[in-house]
Amino acid sequence: MIDVHQSRINTARHLWVGTIQTLFQTLGLQNRPAASEISESLAVFCQQHPRMSEHTLSILMARSFCVLGDVEAAEWVLRHDRTYRRHTSSWLNVLSIEYPFPELYPLFSARALRPLELSSAPAPLKALEPASRTWVLDFEKIKLTEADRHELIVFQTVRRLTENVSNVWKKTNGQGALGVKGLQRLSRFARPRNAPAARQLFDHMRDVLARCARQNGWGQIPSVLQIDL
């Protein structure tokens, strides 16, 4: 008896393998030692997440090459995607095996966490840190569940997100800056529902980063500024 469901699963996986292998050929990476293994593993992931954007697939490919020790191939992937080419070194740092990618991936794929383009940044951020250590957390791009937005746990939601973001400064011993965008959106769900709520959330993020610095034994605490890009 033919298992039609399993047959469809296999067909979808083979299609994704072909798509990824074609991308490798376009980038000239088809002969890299890890190419075959990466195409198979990514095909399974893409099969489970069929609405895969090009920039998301690129960062998954780059992460896979980094984990398998081929940083040169990872850099090549990033430099050929306009989403990442401006800050390739920043992305390579956080895609290394030392970083908890599963925690950061949802933010990366939503473009909610990204290196800051300093040419368009407010003057205070330009003076703080080089681009390789300056990141933006954009709450307007984060899809929160109804539970995440509940007024009783919105501070917990911000704490969890801030803790995840803090991982990007692991290699810099806490030296860096975080530009926060769209915090006013969350303040609508906090108590009180007014301007002080946004300020309380902002101060909460600073406190969370300070605690992360202490727990990790960092010599510095990432600076936090509210921005409007």
Residues 64 and 41 sit within 8 Å (Cβ to Cβ): yes
- Residue 78 is inside which H or E element, if any? helix 71-79
The predicted pLDDT at position 4 comes to 39
Q: Are residues 6 and 63 in the same domain?
A: yes
Q: Are residues 130 and 210 in the same domain?
A: yes
Structural domain boundaries enclosing 91: 1-97
Q: Are residues 178 and 194 in the same domain?
A: yes
- If the chain, 229 residues long, is cut into consecutive pieces of 10 residues, what is the mean pLDDT of each piece? 48 83 92 92 88 91 94 95 90 87 91 74 49 81 74 81 92 91 76 68 94 95 84
The predicted pLDDT at position 58 comes to 95
Residues 91 and 117 sit within 8 Å (Cβ to Cβ): no
The predicted pLDDT at position 47 comes to 86
DSSP 96: S
Residue 165 carries which side chain, given as an amino acid letter? V
DSSP 134: E
The 3-state DSSP class for residue 137 equals strand
82 CB-near residues (< 8 Å, 6+ apart): none
The predicted pLDDT at position 218 comes to 95
CA distance 55 to 83: 7
Q: Could you give the count of Cα atoms lying within 13 Å of 82 in the half-sphere of its Cβ?
A: 0
- CA torsion 50-33-72-67 (nearest 10°) is 60
Q: Are residues 11 and 76 in the same domain?
A: yes
The predicted pLDDT at position 189 comes to 66
Q: Are residues 136 and 219 in the same domain?
A: yes
Q: Are residues 88 and 199 in the same domain?
A: no
Q: Are residues 86 and 139 in the same domain?
A: no
Choose one of 66, 97, 128: the last residue of a domain: 97
Q: Are residues 90 and 202 in the same domain?
A: no
The predicted pLDDT at position 119 comes to 44
The predicted pLDDT at position 184 comes to 80
The predicted pLDDT at position 63 comes to 95
Q: Hey, what are 150's tokens?
A: 């509940």
The predicted pLDDT at position 31 comes to 93
Please, what's the b/e burial string for 17-55 (b: 16 or more CB within 10 A of its CB; e: otherwise)?
bebbbebbeebebeebebbeebbebbbeebbeeeebeee
Q: Are residues 143 and 165 in the same domain?
A: yes
Domains in the chain: how many in total? 2
CA distance 162 to 157: 9
Q: Are residues 119 and 178 in the same domain?
A: yes
Q: In what order do the strands lie in the sheet containing 177-181?
A: 113-115, 134-138, 177-181, 223-226
Choose one of 40, 73, 97: the last residue of a domain: 97
14 CB-near residues (< 8 Å, 6+ apart): 43
